[in-house]
Amino acid sequence: MNHELLPPFPLSRPRRLRQSPALRRLVRENPAGAGQLILPLFVRAGRRQRLPIDAMPGVCQLSPDEAVKEATQAYTAGVPAVLLFGIPERKDDRASGAYAAHGVVQQALRLLKQELPDLLLATDVCLCEYMRHGHCGIIRPGSRDARVLNDPTLKLLARTAASHAEAGADLVAPSDMMDGRVAAIRAALDRAGFADTPIMAYAAKFASAFYGPFREAAESAPQFGDRRGYQMDPANALEALREVALDIREGADLVMVKPALAYLDILHRVKSTFGYPTAAYAVSGEFAMIKAAAARGWIDERAITLESYLALRRAGADMVITYAAKEIARWLQEAS
């Protein structure tokens, strides 16, 4: 900005443009509509099942038929996409539920595609929900060491992504943080005839305490150790840029920063450095904190949720993954 071209200070009256809703709308830099929202859904086997998750009020584990109902409501309110997580009936040490042709995510994909053909179906590609030990990849058999074996894990991730595409996924989102997973998944998708299926990489995913409620929701807490051997150190920003660069080189079409509100600096740097389509994931702990304070009457849930959404857009998110997607979309409808 060339400051010499600006009018002298006394003439500048920014409030002129804040006088009415219409003026404020005209000059809004980062409109945040329903069209930029993605709703995560937890699917489990069965029919007519809705199992509430304690630390995430209003969020349930859903059987595929109930997932269709939930997705229909969100879609009707204007949310264009859902992101599926699976809770399998059985876990093992090879995550077989993740890539089973009739796994729970695969079943939900087929049903959702049939019932809501225009809804965008994204899937989380990870192994932790399907592994007995709860880690995101393969652990040396019999070991209680949380060091996940990188390259053997890639094969299973690639297989999982291909099986999601086969079942109808429009977009796959690897969240495991193994090195080289985007390239492995891209190759597997291409080989299976899904060259047009985009990859949304959880590129800068931090080892965060904000994932606590999710692990209850997805029954995926690690049984020993933690995820710091594969997810990023919350102290690091430059490394996040390197992670994003790698994922883009390997073929990511969209990149993600996760968590969201505590990582606005990362989001901003990722968007301004790469200019790629960028997603922010407002994670379970962020959602739970707002719900808990709102339940006590300490904060205005609607105002804080909408403000948080705007903040993510302003920081550089093209799209936001949030458990509040349906509510946000409805509030926006009411307001317009």
CA-CA distance, 103 to 82, in Å (whole number)? 18
Stretch of 27-35, 144-152, 211-219, 267-275 contacting ligand PBG, by CB under 6 A? 211-219
Least distance CB 74 / ligand PBG (angstroms) = 16
Residue 185 binds ligand PBG, judged by CB under 6 A: no
DSSP, res 1? -
Residue 214 binds ligand PBG, judged by CB under 6 A: yes
Residue 312 binds ligand PBG, judged by CB under 6 A: no
Contact residues for 90 (Cβ-Cβ < 8 A; gap 6+): 97
Residue 125 binds ligand PBG, judged by CB under 6 A: no
Catalytic residue list contains 271? no
Which residue's C-beta sits nearest to ligand PBG?
Answer: 214
Stretch of 1-9, 62-70, 88-96, 208-216 contacting ligand PBG, by CB under 6 A? 208-216
- Choosing from 128, 183, 200, 240, the residue that interacts with ligand PBG (CB under 6 A) is 128
State whether residue 294 is helix, strand or coil.
Answer: helix
104 within 8 A of 44, measured Cβ to Cβ: yes
213 within 8 A of 42, measured Cβ to Cβ: no
Positive or negative torsion for Cα 50, 53, 58, 60? negative
Buried-state track 108-125, b at ≥16 Cβ within 10 A, e below 16: bbebbeebbeebebbbbb
Residue 126 binds ligand PBG, judged by CB under 6 A: yes
Residue 83 binds ligand PBG, judged by CB under 6 A: no
CA-CA distance, 141 to 276, in Å (whole number)? 39
Catalytic residue list contains 205? yes
State whether residue 309 is helix, strand or coil.
Answer: helix
254 within 8 A of 197, measured Cβ to Cβ: no
Stretch of 18-26, 88-96, 121-129, 235-243 contacting ligand PBG, by CB under 6 A? 121-129
Residue 41 binds ligand PBG, judged by CB under 6 A: no
- Choosing from 283, 290, 315, 325, the residue that interacts with ligand PBG (CB under 6 A) is 283
Is 45 or 87 the residue whose CB approaches ligand PBG more closely? 87
Residues that bind ligand PBG (CB under 6 A): 124, 126, 128, 136, 175, 211, 214-215, 227, 283-284
Catalytic residue annotation: 205, 258
